[in-house]
Amino acid sequence: MKFINYTNDGRVVVQHAALILSKLDETDTLELHTMDNAIILLKKDMTLVKTRDVLQGMVRLARSMTLDALCNSDAEDKTPLVDESVDDEYEDTITIPVPLEAFGDAGLLGKDLHIQVIDGAVVITEDTMMTKDHEYLYPYSAQEAKKRNQLSMWRESYHVNVACRNAIEETIRQNFDGMHLKKDCLEPVLAEYGYKRTEWVLATTLQELSWDGRFSRANKQWAARRYIPQDERHNAEITVRSHPAILDGFVDLYREAYQKLGLFGSEHCVGDRAEQDYIGKVLVLSPDTLKESCWSQENQLWYAHDGFGCSPHAIGRSVRCTCLSDGEMTRWNRDEFVGVLDEKFLPDWAKESLSQFQQEEAAESPGMNNQSM
């Protein structure tokens, strides 16, 4: 079970199961404390006895972390296990949002996270056993960031965008011989800045220069399908200044490289996502939701069980689902899915998993009906 998830709308949510285990589930107000590489959620106005219990838990946690560090251990996760039924009971009331800026203050923004639950507290730290990823790409404009009180996060991401633009210009300058652009010139840019940011800068550039006829129609259409927030001044500042005809070839190289990843997208889905019911369907998780280190078809395909988010018009957005590749059950928000996968694109390995889920649900249905009679 995942105790914490990033969402696409600038939030990080802690699952209610973590609050139950730490005995914070009946607390109306929580205090949030940030420190280097950690966030701690505590009850507000604790009694002396409760404070003592929390401190004792912190000491045990500190000892455990110290032993792990000294032994350089890959030991099993210290997070206590929880029965999935605990999660089911709370449906769409099971998460609490943690301000994204708190993760920025703690140096945890965009990193893989690990939760430790102790009596009276929830401690969030970086999961150092996970693969490192690229810098966090902030998805909103400077104006929107100001409204959200997230200007520091926007500014940090913007500076990396500018650096990515500079890297693209430099690699084009070094790898264009006057006639041809070297095929491998894209690799160092992707290694340093990743697919998401490289695409962001290239799509921004083509949208800003949509009037320029030296870009191919296919590349203009590709860029137009990418959401880039309106920000006239700052978008202009990350626009690549290389010769458009050469840059068009660089965009071709990027699109070819992304295509080779074999990820699912909207072109692999059927129906109108805005009107579809997701229950019992195979859903495609958006690559934008996943870290690039987790990009694969195996991590994209999820079988939807239930949740208010399965209904297109419900207020709740949570979808309880199971990963077809490894059987992990968790919840994602409805808007984190691209849509319902077209059956003709379902891989053989996923067909076996899907058949198993459908058989299990069919076997459970008669029992449920008998209980209700």
Which helix (H) or strand (E) segment is 12 a member of?
A: strand 11-15
Looking at this protein, which amino acid is placed at residue 331?
A: R
Cα separation, 371 vs 373, in Å, equals 6
Helix (H, G, I), strand (E, B) or coil at 340: strand
Longest Cα–Cα distance of the chain, Å, equals: 79
When pLDDT is averaged across residues 225-239 and rounded to a whole number, the result is 94
Packed helices 244-260 and 217-224: angle between N→C axes, nearest 10 degrees: 60
Q: How far is CA 245 from CA 168, 179, 214, 270, in A?
A: 14, 11, 5, 36
Is a pLDDT exceeding 50 seen at residue 131?
no
User: What are phi and psi for residue 41, nearest 5 degrees?
Assistant: -105, 125
- Running DSSP on this structure, what letter comes out for residue 296? S
When pLDDT is averaged across residues 114-130 and rounded to a whole number, the result is 59
Is the overall model pTM greater than 0.95, yes or no? no
When pLDDT is averaged across residues 124-141 and rounded to a whole number, the result is 72
Q: What integer pLDDT is reported at residue 65 of this predicted model?
A: 65
Cα separation, 179 vs 249, in Å, equals 11
Q: What is the 3-state secondary structure (H, E, C) of 63-132?
A: HHHHHHHHHCCCCCCCCCCCCHHHHHHHHHHCEEEEEHHHHHHCCCCCCCEEEEEECCEEEEEECCCCCC
Is a pLDDT exceeding 80 seen at residue 249?
yes
Is a pLDDT exceeding 70 seen at residue 274?
yes
Cα separation, 186 vs 174, in Å, equals 12
Quick check: 94 and 15 in contact, CB under 8 A? yes
172 vs 44: which has the higher pLDDT: 172
Task: Give the model's confidence band at 196: pLDDT under 50 very low, under 70 low, under 90 confident, else very high.
Answer: very high
Cα separation, 238 vs 229, in Å, equals 13
Q: What integer pLDDT is reported at residue 373 of this predicted model?
A: 35
Cα separation, 109 vs 111, in Å, equals 6
Q: What integer pLDDT is reported at residue 320 of this predicted model?
A: 93
Cα separation, 129 vs 365, in Å, equals 40
Q: Which of 71-75, 146-150, 316-320 has the lowest mean pLDDT?
A: 71-75
- Running DSSP on this structure, what letter comes out for residue 225? T
Phi-psi region of 331 (alpha: psi -120 to 50; beta: other; left: phi over 0): beta
Cα separation, 191 vs 186, in Å, equals 9
Q: What integer pLDDT is reported at residue 366 of this predicted model?
A: 62
Q: What integer pLDDT is reported at residue 132 of this predicted model?
A: 53
Span 142-184, pLDDT tens digits: 999 999 999 999 999 999 999 999 999 999 999 999 999 999 9
Cα separation, 262 vs 221, in Å, equals 20
Task: Give the model's confidence band at 277: pLDDT under 50 very low, under 70 low, under 90 confident, else very high.
Answer: very high
Q: What torsion, rounded to 10 degrees, do the Cα atoms 221, 227, 229, 231 define?
A: -30
Q: Which of 4-8, 246-250, 257-261, 274-278 has the lowest mean pLDDT?
A: 4-8
Q: What integer pLDDT is reported at residue 159 of this predicted model?
A: 96
Span 1-32, pLDDT tens digits: 455 665 555 566 776 666 666 677 667 677 87
